[in-house]
Amino acid sequence: MAAAVFLAVSFALLGIQEATATAGFIQAPLSQEGLVGGSVALHCEAVGRPVPEIQWWFEGNSPNDTAYQLWDGAWLDRVHIHATYDQHAASSLSIDKLSAEDAGTYECRANNDPNRNHLTLTPRVRWVRAQASVVVLKPGTIETFVENYNSKIRLTCTLNQSSIEIVGHRWMRGNKVVKEDTLSGLTTEFEVDKEETGMGNYFCVFLPEPTGKGEFILLPPNVTAVKKSTHGEEGTTITIMCKASSNLPLLYWTWHKVVDSDSEIIVSDKKKFFVNSTGLETRLTIYNLDPSTDPGSYLCNGTNSEGSGWETITLRVHSHLAALWPFLGIVAEVLVLLIIIFICEKRQKSSHDADADEDELGSAPLKSSGHSLDKDKNVRQRSTS
């Protein structure tokens, strides 16, 4: 009896609630576009009595993706949810540092059924849903150019595409803003006085951020020798070469001969030396190599507006005489041998003659005396034993 009354009452209440207080949206989230690295924010508001709960769900674009609920701090804290439940429910979802995988369908769900989150009971009133899609756009690629322009260096940034409207450009030196405009072009430039050296790093920023950022690292050239050491033959011509890497145009190249700790600038006279410098490369040609004056260290020196970079190349010169040394050595050896043989032969010959003389000139007594000594020895040995 009591149960029947309760049922009747609750059906009556339900009837009233259904008519007046189920959850409904007063603001549904709007679809958004965001750039990789940027952020998007979605907003949702719902009314009902009691005040409904708002949940956020996400389903990615790839076919295997299934919807799951988002929470504050999800996705390595890139997802933030701020909700207020006062007269009605309001919830904001924001996603920072967007990546391509964040593209998909975001769903705002609202429900005020007391059983809405019960694990086994199905709520009498279904969740109401509102969807918004988020598209994540790739920012364009920025190309940077540096050129000498009269007494200035012109820095240019060009964005090859933009999926969102450009609303301005900002130029920064380090983290100081040096120029800003509200133009919409895909190209922006900035001029720097050539005399202004040690400029450091410049950035161009396309607005709104993070549409794109270009960087200029302005440094002296990095000069490297194509071959750190080389050698040539006396009388021939040799060419040595240096290269530079630099994002600023090179103003000039010089070559020096290092003498002791000093260096002498080399003049391209086309008789002894010829310097050919083209952009980031320089070649020094040395004609008619001389082993007494040309060997040593050669220094190539490249200069841009930020300073200079250099490298030394060691040159050795083989003289014609040097090439002869091994041959001369053999000749000398043969000569020495011949002399030795000659002397030996001479000696042998003269000793033979001496022997012959001795034989003739009574060596007999010597021999006989030797014999007699031997005999004595034998006698003594016998006697003692």
The candidate with the shortest Cα–Cα distance to 286, out of 324, 237, 231, 213, is 237
Stretch that binds ligand NAG, among 9-17, 24-32, 90-98, 297-305 (CB under 6 A): 297-305
Two tokens at 106? 């975001």
Which one of residues 240, 310, 311, 313 is an interface residue with ligand NAG (CB under 6 A)? 310
Question: In whole angstroms, how close is the CB of 340 to ligand NAG at the nearest point?
Answer: 56
Give the span between the Cα atoms of 154 and 305, in whole angstroms.
12
Which one of residues 184, 276, 350, 368 is an interface residue with ligand NAG (CB under 6 A)? 276
Question: In whole angstroms, how close is the CB of 65 to ligand NAG at the nearest point?
Answer: 8
Closest CB to ligand NAG among 99 and 276? Answer: 276
Which one of residues 22, 263, 282, 304 is an interface residue with ligand NAG (CB under 6 A)? 263
**What is the distance, to the nearest Å, from the Cα of residue 86 to the centroid of all Cα atoms in its chain?**
55
- Residue 52 has φ and ψ, to the nearest 5°, of -70, 160
Q: DSSP assignment of 171-231, as one string?
A: EEETTEEEEEE----SEEEEEEETT----EEEEEEEETTTSEEEEEEE---EEEESSSEEE
Say whether residue 64 binds ligand NAG (CB under 6 A).
yes
227: left (phi over 0), alpha (psi -120 to 50) or beta: beta
User: For residues 45 and 25, is the Cβ–Cβ distance under 8 A?
Assistant: yes
Q: Cα angle at 227 between 222 and 230, to 5 degrees?
A: 140
User: For residues 135 and 34, is the Cβ–Cβ distance under 8 A?
Assistant: yes
Question: In whole angstroms, how close is the CB of 152 to ligand NAG at the nearest point?
Answer: 20
Question: In whole angstroms, how close is the CB of 254 to ligand NAG at the nearest point?
Answer: 6
Which one of residues 115, 161, 229, 363 is an interface residue with ligand NAG (CB under 6 A)? 161
> x/- string (CB under 6 A) for ligand NAG, residues 123-142?
-----------------xx-
Say whether residue 222 binds ligand NAG (CB under 6 A).
yes
Which one of residues 261, 278, 292, 381 is an interface residue with ligand NAG (CB under 6 A)? 278
Residues that bind ligand NAG (CB under 6 A): 62, 64, 140-141, 160-161, 222, 224, 245, 254, 256, 263, 276, 278, 299, 301, 303, 308, 310
